[in-house]
Amino acid sequence: ILSVLTGYISAVERVSGFQSCSAFASKVKPVMQKLHKDMSKCSISKEETEPILDWQEALLCHYTMDRLFSFSILTARVFAVGDPTHHAEGSAQTCL
């Protein structure tokens, strides 16, 4: 999960420069960085990325938000308290 989170942090940093995505990125980025810091003390290595063309910005922003939403659901299920078979019913069940 830490490796996936690191990848999503890079993706959000990448789309944060897009005008159409700056509001989304400014809300999500600090939370993701805090989660990453809490999960690990290792350093983040920056990968080289290709430049983004103007027509790709909206597509990449939507793709990143969609994948981040899926990741947040997966993470919530992994770290939720209780029986995973009941997680879709609303709130997590308390372990006994």
Domain ranges of the chain: 2-83
At residue 94, the pLDDT reads 44
As a whole number of angstroms, the distance between CA 27 and CA 15 comes to: 13
What pLDDT shows up at residue 72? 83
In this prediction, residues 71-78 reach a mean pLDDT of: 80
10-13 long-range contacts, CB within 8 A, separation 24+: 10/44, 10/46, 10/47, 10/49, 11/64, 11/67, 11/68, 12/64, 12/68
pLDDT at position 1 over 50: yes
Over range 67-81, report the average pLDDT. Answer: 80
* Average pLDDT rounded to a whole number, residues 58-80: 84
Per-residue pLDDT at 95? 38
pTM of the model: 0.48
Angstrom distance (rounded) from CA 25 to CA 91: 27
